[in-house]
Amino acid sequence: MRALILSWEYPPIVEGGLARHVRKLSEQLVAQDVEVHVLSRGDESMPAEEDLEGVVVHRVREPRRPRDLGEFVAWVEHMNADMLAAGVELGDRFDFDLVHGHDWLVAAAGDHLARRFRCPLVVTIHATEYGRHQGWVDKHPQSYIHGVERWMANRAERVITCSHYMRDHVADVYDLEESRISVIPNGIDPLDLQPVDDLERLRGQFAAPHERLVVLVGRLVYEKGFQLALEALPGIIEQVGGVRFLVAGSGTHERALRHQAEELGLDGHGTFLGWIGDDVLHSLYRIADLCVVPSIYEPFGLVALEAMASGCPCIVADTGGLREIVPGDETVGLRFNGGDAEHLGIMIERLLTDEPLRERLVAEASEHVLRFDWADVARQTAKVYAHLRGARV
């Protein structure tokens, strides 16, 4: 079995969770005796082709990224044209059994290559434009992206989603039969979550020993719901006292969140860290007393898994894929009513003031996260591949 996987990012290019997902999946597929070639983008410092942990990575020189969001679609089209040309050359060297594309950013190249190779097309939809914008996809570029995603989903022989919530969402939004969609959760490897050495010193930068530290991690975009957590914090600080917060990430909503924090009088109670590397991120989970994942739209909930695997108790919104990460029985984490800042405040206060509850959640969560094993994710994906193997279009 030989698979060509397309992704717009692959380490060392990491702009979000997609790069890490494709890397771990590809490496574990190799362990399942799948020959994996990844076609992605790179710069002049990266080799055009190299073997990384058994995965053959092919990189095309990425076009210069525009700053204007309106020009982003043209940039993606340019990138797909370059990936298509590189993929055609790969097809002259290798006989691929299938093409596997990740999200709309590589949809055009994936479709053309699958047709050229006369092999099945598998697509993983990690999130949808419809979901990210709460259904407001009537204007460019959202309308364009939504159209590409719909076409891509209906073109593929098999669609993979990371949660049952996303399966239902994709089937509904793109008018797709659920029988064509496989649910394969994202994975996590606790051994990857290595912190920096001096955690005590790091914590001392953000909180005194007697203070509680609440961490928010992710892209600073509206659908992540960080505005709800900020809204809840003044009441928590008044009721509990000695509470500080950290916001780790960057994104288009950052300025609005900083302004909101200032308006709420939170400037002296926390820090916006901006984008941080994995080592510092993994350390934040270790020094925090609580991780809050307040998403309005969340296909899966990797931040919650990472926090739980790092021994940090979690409160998550009762929405989307988070329901499948954190059950509603309060065994591994707590849930609050999605979109309800007041209820979030109540749950934060409860968890910060109940030490036995925190200890119990941490203990249970350490076992719970083992269910999301990358080897199992790869086995399920390889089964999808095997089912489609030999299908010609």
Indicate whether 364 and 380 sit together in one domain: no
pLDDT band at 393 (very low <50, low <70, confident <90, very high): very low
**Higher per-residue confidence, 246 vs 66:** 246
Distance CA 53, CA 75 (A): 30
Q: What is the DSSP string of 328-377?
A: TTSSS-EEE-TT-HHHHHHHHHHHHH-HHHHHHHHHHHHHHGGGS-HHHH
Kindly report, residue by residue over 78-118, the tens digit of the pLDDT: 999 999 999 999 999 999 999 999 999 999 999 999 999 99
Kindly report, residue by residue over 240-295, the tens digit of the pLDDT: 989 999 999 999 999 999 999 999 999 999 999 998 888 889 999 999 999 999 99
Kindly report, residue by residue over 24-34, the tens digit of the pLDDT: 999 999 999 99
Indicate whether 70 and 109 sit together in one domain: yes
Residue 358 falls inside a structural domain: yes
pLDDT band at 47 (very low <50, low <70, confident <90, very high): very high
Indicate whether 177 and 291 sit together in one domain: no
Distance CA 314, CA 333 (A): 5
Domain that holds residue 160: 2-187+373-388
Residue 393 falls inside a structural domain: no
Q: What is the DSSP letter of 197?
A: S
What's the pLDDT score for residue 153? 98
**What's the mean pLDDT in 178-184?**
96
Indicate whether 110 and 69 sit together in one domain: yes
Give the number of other CB atoms < 10 A from CB of residue 78. Answer: 14
The domain that holds 149 is classified in CATH as 3.40.50.2000
Indicate whether 216 and 361 sit together in one domain: yes
Q: Are 303 and 229 in contact (CB under 8 A)?
A: no
